[in-house]
Amino acid sequence: MKERIQSDQIFQRALKVIPGGIYGHVSPVTGLPRHFPHFCERAKGCRFEDVDGNEWIDFMCGFGAILHGYNHPEIEEAVSLQREKGMVFNQPSPLMVDLAETLVERIDFADWAVFAKNGSDLTTWAIRVARESTGRPLVIKAKGAYHGVDSWCDPGHGGRIPDDRASILEFDWNDLEALTDLISKNKDKVAALILTPYHHPAFAPSELPADGFWQEIESLCARYGIQLVLDDVRCGGRLHAGGSHRHFDFTPDLAVYSKALGNGYAISACVGNGSLRKPSMEVFLTGSCWNDALAMTAALKSLELSARDDMVSGVLEKGSRLCDGLERVSKDRGQSLRMTGPTSMPYPWFDGDDSLFEIQRFCQLCADEGIYFHPHHNWFLSNAHDTESIDQAIAVADKALEQMSAEDES
């Protein structure tokens, strides 16, 4: 069992000055079970140390933000050099143009790019660009899909008024009949269809697009004049170097990236096709530190490393080693653990575990041995996960599954 004295003490202090101590999806009250540490001290590669000095092998990668490994030497060196020049100025540094050029070169349909700090900034902005270009009000999204913290899409209820969702329609992922029905009933009113590359909800297994799903989506959008917005915030960088639409072979009108873009430095990007250049200029966009040259340096270096090291194949292969290994030991132990979704960002699921008790028990037992497997969110692989760390995690999982089988029998 891991020591958690400092972690608990700091959390007690936090409760006095921060509502709930820690908020959002890592809040111990609503999201992350208590056997995980509340606070981290440092991280390197695929490991981090919590405030009690416990070392963890991490399979969350800062919830996806870390693609090359924590504290990557080449990225940190590039950032240090830029830091000598400065970080936030009145005007952007030329790095912004370098970064836009890199994205436009790498993402096949992209004609332009803009930048902000978080995914939410730009998923919300992108649907406004779609509204501006179509002159229509409605937005369609998949039920249970997360697109950020703004009131049109956040998973909470607080502080919301009915108007916030009055222009948002939903359909079940892969239910093309329901989607077609929704679109035809709201003909000439739908501005945007916003979707993730595949369905990756929390608390449920991931669902890949059914055969022909994306092709039908493209044809519906073309037929009804709807802008297709790809929310690639979570998957970007882990499925295809040219954007996740290439992995599934379709073309959106706009795409939003964040998480892995800056390897932990806060930056998001939205790219769009040429027809949206003019409407994009009509939707106001700025922010306190929007032109942060350090984050742009990190993103440029991160994109350079991704191309040089064939990052996507690397994380998919590492993920396959992990997923195959976990499914193998699960089968050997008579358990039903199944890894869903792409291997570079798999979601673990025990068959029939609707109460979620089994996945919680599994992740707790692994956490006791220093393996950070999240029970309710997809995991993330980085290029820093080596054979040793993956095999160590599989060995710990094997013991956890053995214990679960013993508990089932008793």
Question: Contact positions toward ligand PLP, by CB under 6 A?
Answer: 118-120, 123, 146-149, 196, 231, 233-234, 258
Written as one string, the DSSP assignment of 189-255 is: TEEEEEE-SSB--TTS--BPPPTTHHHHHHHHHHHHT-EEEEE-TTTTTTS-TT-HHHHHT---SEE
Best CA proximity match to 229, nearest among 174, 197, 263, 192? 192
Q: How far is the CB of 361 from ligand PLP (least distance, A)?
A: 26
Greatest CA separation for the chain: 67
Would you say how long the chain is, in residues?
A: 410
Q: How far is the CB of 119 from ligand PLP (least distance, A)?
A: 2
Q: How far is the CB of 89 from ligand PLP (least distance, A)?
A: 23
Number of other residues whose CB lies within 10 A of the CB of residue 62:
18
- Please identify, using beta-carbon distances, which residue of 4 and 377 lies nearer to ligand PLP: 377
- Please identify, using beta-carbon distances, which residue of 260 and 401 lies nearer to ligand PLP: 260
- Please identify, using beta-carbon distances, which residue of 258 and 297 lies nearer to ligand PLP: 258
Please tell me the distance from the alpha carbon of residue 268 to that of residue 148, in angstroms, as a whole number: 12
Q: How far is the CB of 151 from ligand PLP (least distance, A)?
A: 13
Pairing of strands 337-340, 55-58: unpaired
- Please identify, using beta-carbon distances, which residue of 52 and 121 lies nearer to ligand PLP: 121
Q: How far is the CB of 289 from ligand PLP (least distance, A)?
A: 14
Please tell me the distance from the alpha carbon of residue 264 to that of residue 97, in angstroms, as a whole number: 21
Q: Is 364 left (phi over 0), alpha (psi -120 to 50) or beta?
A: alpha
- Please identify, using beta-carbon distances, which residue of 231 and 253 lies nearer to ligand PLP: 231
Closest residue by beta carbon to ligand PLP? 119
- Please identify, using beta-carbon distances, which residue of 141 and 333 lies nearer to ligand PLP: 141
Q: How far is the CB of 50 from ligand PLP (least distance, A)?
A: 22
**Terminal Cα-to-Cα distance of the chain (whole angstroms):** 22
